Amino acid sequence: MKKILVFLLILTMAFAFTACAPKVETPVAAAAPEAAAPAPTPTKTVYLITMDKMDQHWVNVDAGAKTMAEALGLNYKWDAPDVKDNAKQIEAVNNAVADKADLILLAANDPKAISEAVKTAKAKGVKIIYVDSAADEPAIATLSTNNRQAGVLAGQTMVDELKAAGKTSGKIGIISVNTATNSTMNRENGFKEVVAAAGYTILTTEYKDGDAAASQEAAYGFIAGNEDLVGLYGTNEGSTVGVGNAIKAAGKSIIGIGFDKSDAILGLLKDGSLKAAMAQNPFTMGYLGVAQAYAALNDKSTGPAVIDTGVAILRK
**Domain-wise residue ranges, the chain:** 44-145+281-310, 147-279
CATH of 147-279, one of 3.90.245.10, 3.40.50.2300, 3.40.30.10, 3.40.50.300: 3.40.50.2300
Q: What is the signed CA dihedral for 14, 20, 25, 29, rounded to 10 degrees?
A: 10
Whether residue 135 contacts residue 114, with contact meaning beta carbons closer than 8 Å, is answered with yes
Q: What is the CATH number of domain 44-145+281-310?
A: 3.40.50.2300
C-alpha span between 247 and 193 (Å, rounded): 24
pLDDT one-digit tens code per residue, 161-215: 999 999 999 999 999 999 999 999 999 999 999 999 999 999 999 999 999 999 9
Closest by Cα among 236, 129, 137, 127 to 181: 236
DSSP letter for 170, please: -
**pTM above the 0.85 mark?**
no
Rounded percentage of the chain residues whose pLDDT exceeds 70: 87
**What is the arithmetic mean of pLDDT over 235-258?**
97
Q: Are 44-145+281-310 and 147-279 equal in CATH topology?
A: yes
pLDDT at position 24, please?
33
